[in-house]
Each structure stands twice: as structure tokens, then as C-alpha cells.
Amino acid sequence: MPTVSFTPALQRFLRVPELRVEGATVGAALAAAFAERPELRGYILDDQGGLRRHVNVYIGSEPVRDRAGLSDALHPDDALYVFQALTGG
């Protein structure tokens, strides 16, 4: 099962441990994480179900390519990292 980890910047708002979830795609893995922690959805996804502008997700060291459909494939031993990107001046 893939693991999903959330950065400390996001954990300032929501306490979220690393989760082991079922899912063959990024979207399926995130849906499983949201089933366990529904409050996460609004921080991660926009109204159309894609990643919010200031959220980045990586599979290992590679950024997710399909930010709108979340169709990137996952293997059972993959690690998914969810970052809240920092912006400002």
C-alpha cells in the first residue's frame, strides 16, 4: 500500500499522521486519505477536484504530472508527499 505523508506546514492546520492507503492512482490514494481524514480535502483539492494552486504532490522525488485529474499511477511501495507550497515576497 502506498504511504501518504503531509508536510509540517500543512500539519500546522490539521494534525495528520502518515497514512498507508489503497490506491492505484494519486486520486485514489488521496480519496482513501480523505475517507480517513475528511477535513484534508479542502486544503488539498480545489472545487473541480484538482490540486489547489499552492499544493504540490510528489511520488517519491517526482512531481505529480496530472494536477487536474490526479491520474498518475502508483505502485504499492510508493511514497506520496503532499506539500503546501510557500509563497510571498
Report whether pLDDT(79) > 60.
yes
Distance, CA of 74 to CA of 46 (rounded, Å): 22
State pLDDT tens for residues 27-75.
999 999 999 989 889 989 999 999 999 999 999 999 999 999 999 999 9
Instruction: Tell me the C-alpha to C-alpha distance, in Å, between residue 5 and each of 74, 81, 89.
Output: 14, 5, 27
Residue 47 lies in a domain: yes
Residue 11 is part of which domain span?
Answer: 3-84
Total domains, the chain: 1
Residue 18 lies in a domain: yes
Quote the pTM value. Answer: 0.90
For residue 57, the tally of other CB atoms under 10 A from its CB is: 19
Q: What is the CATH number of the domain that holds 36?
A: 3.10.20.30
Residue 89 lies in a domain: no
pLDDT range class, residue 85, cuts 50, 70, 90: confident
State pLDDT tens for residues 21-30.
999 999 999 9
